[in-house]
């Protein structure tokens, strides 16, 4: 059995990071290829949602892990996001028990990231981590689609509670405006925000500098 692993929401400043593992036989992978799964970023929302239902039906098994902003913030100050993501990926591998796992690697360190995951895996699965694995392996593309659709659902739910803050990514002007307004009104951020992100630190910096000058 072969496992594909990918994530959605790694770079966002609002919301959880979602990691997905899709377990498939070689025959199932050919079926995934037949329905033309691709990297989720290359698909429309409607197409992703359609494919996600097909993937859930075809896959032998799949699993989703949500990593909350507070857990991401704690890890940033200790080991970094790669270590946290590798730990959760190892958890997927141990739970789904493939013979080999193909993982979409963050940054440029595919081999190093594979070693990081392998060190945390308790079983004997072979780990292959590569950049652009979500483009090169249908089973990773499938994981990419499920992760993205699940994260989109989480963001939609947050919009119902907090209003439309956009995509949750730092590059989104609507997201930045939401963060600025939150801090201006409350002097803090809701727990859906990753406070370790540079986007947030830039917003809090002027007030912190003012407080430091007053206490000097």
pLDDT in tens, 197-210: 999 999 998 655 44
pLDDT of residue 212 exceeding 80, the answer is no
DSSP 27-87: HHHHHHHHTT---GGGS-HHHHHHHHHHHHHHSSEEEEEEE-HHHHHHHHHHT-HHHHHHH
Greater confidence (141 vs 42) lies with 141
Q: What is the pLDDT of residue 211?
A: 40
Domains of the chain in start order, with CATH, are: 2-160 (3.30.420.10), 163-210 (1.10.10.460)
Look over the chain and give the mean of its residue pLDDT values, rounded to a whole number. 92
Q: What is the pLDDT of residue 206?
A: 60
pLDDT in tens, 88-133: 999 999 999 999 999 999 877 678 999 999 999 998 899 999 999 9
pLDDT class of 146 with cuts at 50, 70, 90: very high
**32, 59, 73, 79, 206 from 62: Cα distances, Å:** 14, 7, 27, 27, 45
pTM of this prediction?
Answer: 0.91
Helix (H, G, I), strand (E, B) or coil at 193: strand
pLDDT in tens, 159-179: 999 999 999 999 999 999 999
């Amino acid at each position: 059995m072969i496992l594909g692993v990918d994530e959605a929401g790694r770079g966002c400043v609002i919301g959880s990071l979602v990691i997905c593992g899709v377990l498939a036989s070689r025959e199932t992978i050919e079926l995934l290829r037949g329905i033309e799964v691709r990297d989720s970023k290359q698909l429309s929302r409607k197409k992703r949602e359609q494919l996600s239902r097909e993937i859930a039906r075809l896959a032998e098994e799949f699993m989703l892990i949500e990593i909350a902003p507070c857990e991401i913030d704690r890890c940033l100050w200790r080991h970094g996001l790669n270590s946290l993501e590798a730990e959760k990926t190892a958890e997927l591998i141990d739970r789904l028990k493939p013979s080999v796992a193909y993982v979409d690697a963050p940054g440029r360190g595919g081999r190093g990231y594979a070693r990081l995951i392998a060190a945390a895996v308790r079983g004997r699965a072979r780990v292959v981590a590569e950049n652009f694995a979500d483009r090169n392996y249908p089973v990773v593309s499938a994981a990419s689609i499920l992760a993205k659709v699940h994260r989109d659902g989480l963001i939609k739910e947050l919009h119902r509670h907090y209003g439309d803050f956009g995509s949750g990514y730092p590059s989104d002007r609507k997201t930045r405006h939401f963060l600025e307004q939150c801090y201006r009104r409350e002097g803090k951020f809701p727990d859906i925000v990753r406070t370790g992100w540079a986007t947030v630190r830039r917003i809090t910096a002027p007030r912190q500098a003012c407080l430091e000058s007053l206490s000097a």
